[in-house]
Amino acid sequence: MFLWIAFALLTAAVLAAVLAPLARPARRDEASTAADGGTVAVYRDQLQEIQADHTRGVLSADEAEAARLEVSRRLLASAARAEDAEPAASPPALPSSRHATIALATAVVVPLLTLTLYLAYGSPGQPARPFAARTDAAVEQAALAGMIAQVEARLRENPGEGRGWEVIAPVYLKLGRFRDAANAYANAARLNGETVVLLAGRAEAAMLASDGVVTEEARVAYEKILKLEPGRVEARFWLAMAREQDGRLADALADYQALLAEAPPDADYRAPLTQRIQEVTARIAAIETGAPAGPTEADMAAAAKLTPQERAQMIAGMVDGLAQRLKRNGRDLAGWLRLLNAYAALDRKDEARAALAEARRNFAGDAGALAELAKLANSLGLGS
Amino acid sequence: MIIELGHFALVLALAVAAVQMVLPAWGAHTRDARLMQAAEPAALTQLALLSLAFAALTYAYVTSDFSVENVWANSHSAKPLIYKISGVWGNHEGSMLLWVLILALFGAAVALFGGNLPPSLRANALAVQAAIALAFLLFIIFSSNPFVRIPLQPEGRGLNPILQDPALAFHPPFLYAGYVGLSMAFSFAIAALIEGRTDAAWARWVRPWTLAAWVCLTLGIAMGSWWAYYELGWGGWWFWDPVENASFMPWLAATALLHSALVMEKREALKVWTILLAILAFSLSLMGTFLVRSGILTSVHAFAVDPARGVFILAILVVLIGGALVLYAWRAPQLQQGGLFAPISREGALVLNNVLLTVACGTVFVGTLYPLALESVTGDKISVGPPYFNLTFGPLMLPLLLAMPLGPFLAWKRGDLLGALQRLLAAAGIALLALTVTLALTWRGPWLAPFGIALGVWVVAGALSEWVARVKLFSAPLADSFYRARGLPRAAYGTMLAHAGVGVAVIGIVATTAWQSEAVLSMKPGDSAHIAGYELAFRGVAPGRGPNYQDQIGLLTVTRAGAPVTELSPAKRTYDAPRQTTSEAGIHVAWRGDLYAVLGDELADGAFVVRLYFNPLVRLIWLGALVMALGGALSLSDRRLRIGAPRRARRRALAAPSPAE
């Protein structure tokens, strides 16, 4: 209610200020004297300046006289123009009734327009929520936020407190702050010792942070898990996935098949395993028949069914797999060209440039390959 | 409540802008004084309302109210207070609000201090100003509303770490004051076209506004360049980046406008051209806003990319610029032409200045927009880099700088070139001396650079000789010269300083470009490196902790010929939210140049990548810009004291058109 009163008062004050000139008689003095007063003042000023320049010796007597003449001519012309314009300048102003109508129309339109727009975009019912007022009094709504803030503040002071990192890591993961989660898990493991739970959390967060790619960080974590608890299915599955993403398809297939063979008949991970086995088999077959080692038809069909986000993840996974493979074996020109194209299509310019530089290093001395790289780089706009 | 009040004030300002656009223009058309006078309170009210809105948003930032989407997306409760405040315009929505606030400030200044303008000119100018405000307020409310509320969020996302720098507090407000100040020249030009009448008074009125805008723009650009220099860690000060060009083009146009308005004021010549320049200067600054805000360019300035916004700004651009140019094409032929002059004269020199500046502006325009146009038409991506600009812009500056000291020595109407050259003999001698000395010192090359230095010295010495000649420093008794120096109008000092500032900047630019040394090394603790006569010993890397970031600080002990000079501590700074890394360059400032160190990544063997630069005389670039701005400010202070007769008392109050608070 108070808010609406404030709105009304503000609007009224604005209208009163804006419409005041319509209600009172025009300031005659200004309307008439100032009409050309400015112009005349400027010329008079110029005359003075000429005089000053003359006294200072910048202008000779002849020059000063000529300049004075010219300015005087303009001064006269301007005065004449002002006189001509005089009758036009003060015609009978609009009748007062017209002014009243205009004022009334303005007084209706302004609040109407303001209210319409404000109601469309404003949130009059929503109270302000300053941060300070929230952290001490708002257990109701922002309990989680408060807790995070408190733990974060404590960790800033004592970054060596492993317990804090352990508490906050899963919260980050749940909130979708994957990078923070991975870091928190890493800190917890460093300070409290590496446990299966902490390592698995770190690996999961790291994978989610990089759109599903089993990164080096995740791979190392899973390998450590296998040392602590050999045979853990989750770790074995993701390591197989890592191999698949690296392009080591035969190894990946063998791992998947082994996992499937050991799986209890009612295990819920049989379905994803079967799917991976099908896909990897298809890719191996495609390579053997000499088809371009790109995505298989099955991949494409699968990709078509995915949500855009999943598709982006799948593409990123394939591209990163290719990049990793080329890092180990850099003598594959076709692979480099494909990688550059992929980076350009994904608009990952910096990586494209880095890849280009690395490819050039690998093929230093091979003029044919370098020419091909340069051609592609040019057409992709990567500079030379 | 405060936030919603701010939102309401913003919307109300839009309604007031509509009133201010319609009533005064209508009044000017029907010669109704009351309707025309409605412009003044409307302009003042707009300023009050937008100040209220801006204060409300600032309040939301300071109290970290994460129920406001804009605050949540761009702030964080643990951010230091200064970045909570400057963060208000460190994002798209807030910066647009600042834009219209400054626009309203200029409008209110005209309403307050425009007492001796012809009423219809003032009414029309304020109506045009309101039209611009209306367009941008619509844009803000419909597509970039900073007051949109969201369900309460636990914590904000934080400000882009590159922007967490004291420079954010100054660079955007000054730049915006420059951009928006040019709107005043634009509004006056449109009003003059509507009235079909321009004269010396018009030019005199436009000049101070343009000058104020120019000073702010100069400072804003220089600060942006300086910021990029120390924050981005590339060791360079100007990259011909489209965003930089977007601010440089209005600056070139405004510089041309200042000079052509001078001709118009003194001689009533170049009227049509001056009006066109006024339109173009503001059009270029609108285009700069469009380029930077639409997401066409990716850079630190293109906060959130949203195509709808780009289309909206493009529409504003088409309506305002297109409308202005159509009006110009229709009305400009009816304007009276003024005084005649010989090619060799002050006017002639100013025309040369205008031709060169506009052509230079044109080359920058082509270099900035051609790649964008090409990409949108054919899909090819090309990048136009420094080589293009150095080859086109550089040669255009050469005659400009050569002729610059001559201009002030030429008389109006008909000048004496030989006489002017004679009076510049001393300056030419000093420049030759500088050439010889630099050649002797740097005989290893590059051989063109000493000529560049000599050119800069020529400009500085030429600017000073004008003053020497006017106060008769060596030809009259000292007391007499002192008396003359005191009597010289401040505008004369302004010209001298502004021209000398250009020369100073030129010297800095040439020296830095020609003699920069650079080294990229991998250093282990204990290693040392040599650059430009300095020896740097790398002592290792230590961790550090700031309010909302963690530092990895490298320590470099710098010695020169065995004597200790300083310690450099370049750092890699990782912010808590958003988790991003910036590099903090370690810079040692000395007269002969800056020693600049950047700490890079840690390599596998424990070594760190360290990049070292030595930028000779680089400070002169910004010093030159500062001197230019100072010259402009001096000239501005003069103008207000001696401008008009009938309202001399009120004129004095014009002390505050400077919007740069």
Q: How far is A284 from chain B (nearest CA, A)?
A: 35
Contact A121 B487 (CB under 8 A): no
Higher-pLDDT residue of B110 and B51 is B51
Q: In this model, does residue A168 exceed pLDDT 80?
A: yes
Q: Which of A6, A27, A134 sits opposite B37 (nearest CB)?
A: A27
Spatial contact of B171 and B223, defined as CB atoms under 8 Å apart: yes
Q: Name residues 170-199 of chain A within 8 A of B (Cβ).
A: 179-180
Contact B44 A17 (CB under 8 A): yes
Spatial contact of B201 and A35, defined as CB atoms under 8 Å apart: no
Same domain (yes/no): A242, A364 = no
A325 inside domain:
yes
Same domain (yes/no): A251, A341 = no
Higher-pLDDT residue of B456 and A53 is B456
Domain boundary among A273, A289, A305: A289
Same domain (yes/no): A165, A238 = yes
Domain boundary among A246, A271, A289: A289
Contact B16 A14 (CB under 8 A): yes
Q: In this model, does residue A156 exceed pLDDT 50?
A: yes
Q: In this model, does residue A138 exceed pLDDT 60?
A: no
pLDDT of residue A328: 75
Spatial contact of A273 and A260, defined as CB atoms under 8 Å apart: yes
Q: Among residues of chain B, what percentage have pLDDT more than 90?
A: 38
pLDDT of residue A290: 60
Higher-pLDDT residue of B145 and B385 is B145
Q: How far is B94 from chain A (nearest CA, A)?
A: 16
Q: Where are the alpha helices (H) located in chain A, listed in sequence order? A: 2-23, 28-56, 61-89, 96-121, 131-137, 139-157, 162-175, 178-192, 196-209, 216-228, 233-246, 249-262, 270-288, 297-305, 308-328, 333-345, 349-362, 367-380
Report the domain count for chain A: 3
A246 inside domain:
yes
Confidence of residue B262 (pLDDT cuts 50, 70, 90): confident
A114 inside domain:
yes
A132 inside domain:
no
Contact B118 A34 (CB under 8 A): yes
pLDDT of residue A278: 87
Model confidence over B38-50: pLDDT tens digits?
899 999 999 999 9
Q: In this model, does residue B548 exceed pLDDT 80?
A: no
Q: Which of A300, A298, A303, A378 is nearest to A337 (CA)?
A: A378
Instruction: Give the CA-trace dihedral at B274, B279, B285, B289, to 10 degrees.
Output: 180
Q: Which of B233, B235, B237, B238 is nearest to B571 (CA)?
A: B233
Chain B contact present for A22, CB below 8 A: yes
What CATH code is carried by the domain that includes residue A159?
1.25.40.10
Model confidence over B125-153: pLDDT tens digits?
999 999 999 999 999 999 889 999 988 77
Spatial contact of B129 and B65, defined as CB atoms under 8 Å apart: no
Q: In this model, does residue A59 exceed pLDDT 90?
A: no
A141 inside domain:
no
Confidence of residue A354 (pLDDT cuts 50, 70, 90): confident
Q: Which two tokens stand for residue B448?
A: 């063109």
pTM: 0.75
Spatial contact of B442 and B373, defined as CB atoms under 8 Å apart: no
* Lowest mean pLDDT across B16-30, B268-282, B325-339, B372-386: B372-386
pLDDT of residue A301: 61
Same domain (yes/no): A263, A308 = no
pLDDT of residue A280: 86
Confidence of residue A42 (pLDDT cuts 50, 70, 90): confident
Taking contacts as CB-CB distances below 8 angstroms, the residues of chain B near A19 are 38
Same domain (yes/no): A253, A335 = no
**ipTM of predicted complex:** 0.81
pLDDT of residue B297: 63
Chain B contact present for A58, CB below 8 A: yes
pLDDT of residue B204: 81
pLDDT of residue B629: 95
Torsion-angle region of B504 (φ positive above 0: left; ψ -120 to 50: alpha; else: beta): alpha
Q: In this model, does residue A163 exceed pLDDT 90?
A: no
Instruction: Give the CA-trace dihedral at B445, B448, B453, B459, to 10 degrees.
Output: 170
Q: In this model, does residue B404 exceed pLDDT 80?
A: yes
Cα(B287)–Cα(B280) distance, integer angstroms: 10
Mean pLDDT of B433-444: 87
A137 inside domain:
no
B611 forms beta bridges with B520, B598
Q: In this model, does residue B312 exceed pLDDT 60?
A: yes
Q: Mention every residue, 6+ apart, whose C-beta is less than 8 A from residue B517.
A: B531, B532, B613, B614
Cα(B391)–Cα(B381) distance, integer angstroms: 21
Q: What is the mean pLDDT of chain B?
A: 85
SS3 A185: helix
SS3 B170: coil
Spatial contact of A167 and A150, defined as CB atoms under 8 Å apart: no
B594 forms beta bridges with B589, B615
Q: Which two tokens stand for residue B329?
A: 């094409």
Same domain (yes/no): A157, A283 = yes
Higher-pLDDT residue of B304 and B463 is B463
Q: Mention every residue, 6+ apart, whose C-beta is less than 8 A from residue A216.
A: none
Confidence of residue B640 (pLDDT cuts 50, 70, 90): very low
Residue of A nearest to B65 (CA): A130
Chain B contact present for A18, CB below 8 A: yes
Higher-pLDDT residue of B408 and B100 is B100
Same domain (yes/no): A160, A283 = yes
Chain mean position to CA B430: 31
Higher-pLDDT residue of B232 and B351 is B351
Chain B contact present for A6, CB below 8 A: yes
Chain mean position to CA B262: 21
Q: How far is A242 from chain B (nearest CA, A)?
A: 23
Rg value, chain B, Cα: 26
Q: In this model, does residue B645 exceed pLDDT 50?
A: no
Same domain (yes/no): A242, A212 = yes
A106 inside domain:
yes
| DSSP β-ladder status, B549-560 and B571-575 | antiparallel
Q: In this model, does residue A135 exceed pLDDT 60?
A: no
Q: In this model, does residue B650 exceed pLDDT 50?
A: no
Contact A3 B643 (CB under 8 A): no
Residue of A nearest to B121 (CA): A35
Cα(B78)–Cα(B157) distance, integer angstroms: 11
Higher-pLDDT residue of B640 and B350 is B350
Contact A38 B644 (CB under 8 A): yes
Same domain (yes/no): A158, A278 = yes
Q: In this model, does residue B346 exceed pLDDT 80?
A: yes
Taking contacts as CB-CB distances below 8 angstroms, the residues of chain B near A10 are 5, 8-9, 12
Contact A45 B643 (CB under 8 A): yes
Q: Among residues of chain B, what percentage have pLDDT more than 70?
A: 93
Model confidence over B580-602: pLDDT tens digits?
788 888 898 888 888 999 988 88
Spatial contact of B462 and B424, defined as CB atoms under 8 Å apart: yes
Q: Which of B42, B64, B380 sits opposite A381 (nearest CB)?
A: B380
Cα(B440)–Cα(B432) distance, integer angstroms: 12
Same domain (yes/no): A315, A353 = yes
Domain boundary among A289, A318, A336: A289
Mean pLDDT of B484-513: 89
Same domain (yes/no): A266, A303 = no
Q: Mention every residue, 6+ apart, whose C-beta is less than 8 A from residue B575.
A: B158, B161, B164, B548, B549, B581, B582
Higher-pLDDT residue of B645 and A63 is A63
Q: Among residues of chain A, what percentage have pLDDT more than 90?
A: 9
pLDDT of residue B590: 85
Q: In this model, does residue A142 exceed pLDDT 60?
A: no
Same domain (yes/no): A233, A100 = no
pLDDT of residue A96: 73
A130 inside domain:
no
Confidence of residue A308 (pLDDT cuts 50, 70, 90): low
Residue of B nearest to A152 (CA): B576
Q: Which two tokens stand for residue A131?
A: 């941060």
Q: Mention every residue, 6+ apart, whose C-beta is less than 8 A from residue B256.
A: B277, B281, B353, B354, B357, B358, B361
Q: What is the mean pLDDT of chain A?
A: 79
pLDDT of residue A27: 60
Model confidence over B181-226: pLDDT tens digits?
999 999 999 999 998 877 777 888 888 889 999 999 999 999 999 9
Q: In this model, does residue B625 exceed pLDDT 90?
A: yes
**In terms of residue numbers, what domain contains A72?**
2-26+35-85+95-121
Q: Mention every residue, 6+ apart, whose C-beta is less than 8 A from residue B628.
A: B218, B497, B498, B501, B502, B505
B566 forms beta bridges with B558
Q: In this model, does residue A110 exceed pLDDT 80?
A: yes
Cα(A315)–Cα(A302) distance, integer angstroms: 12
